[in-house]
Homo-oligomer: A and B are copies of this chain.
């Protein structure tokens, strides 16, 4: 009988597009960085349409958002890609952040969608944060899958994936090799859960403690669903949330 040998992934790819949300990227990336100090041999490729620096930023004028956005600030940080869609090496785990830039109308992100569709069949895992899942939904890769996304942006972005089984009451959702998390900071919890699922048992705890991060370890404990008036009763295609009411 042949043993199933599962090799933990070592080749990580971070997909960047203009207007990503900083913590969507650097929450999971901090966890990956800490993991890399403990386990070694991990590699991160930063992939974008071109090698130009990629900046977070407010939504483009005219893009509908969930709160009034002032766009006269200049708070942004240029991140350098290491590869383009054409030059990116093989990767095991593709990480996709959210952010207002991912809300751009066609054809702005067409090459980004094409890269995701092309690479998905070659991945061990796809990991999205925040509205990164809504961006992926536009490629069809999430069709028929359970997924979650940013709870503030829910009503605006979930229609981009009409065939996706959106789950509202979730800090993160897994379906096969696809991990999607709720908004921004939820990416940290989701990525720690992913580490826990894939690396040795102590890894996620060590990484979280090293980051001095108080984990939310229950994927269905999501206060931001209720805060935004979302329940899964709204969507009959979703599974029942697995939670227990605990009275203290």
Contacts and interface: CB of A to CB of B under 8 A. Distances in A.
Interface residues of A, number: 60
Interface string A168-206: 000000000000001111101000000000000000001
Given A22-B29, A53-B80, A80-B80, A41 B73 contact: yes
Interface of A: 12, 14, 21-23, 25-27, 29-30, 32-33, 36-44, 46, 53, 56, 58, 67, 69-80, 130, 150-152, 182-186, 188, 206, 209-214, 216, 223-224, 227, 248
Nearest to A10: B73
Given A22-B33, A43-B73, A80-B80, 4 more contacts: A26-B30, A42-B73, A79-B80, A184-B210
A211 B70 CA distance: 17
Copies of this chain in the oligomer? 2
Contact of A23 (B26, B37, B44, B78): B26
Given A22-B26, A26-B22, A36 B212 contact: no
B212 A150 contact: yes
Contacts of A248: 248
Nearest to A188: B185
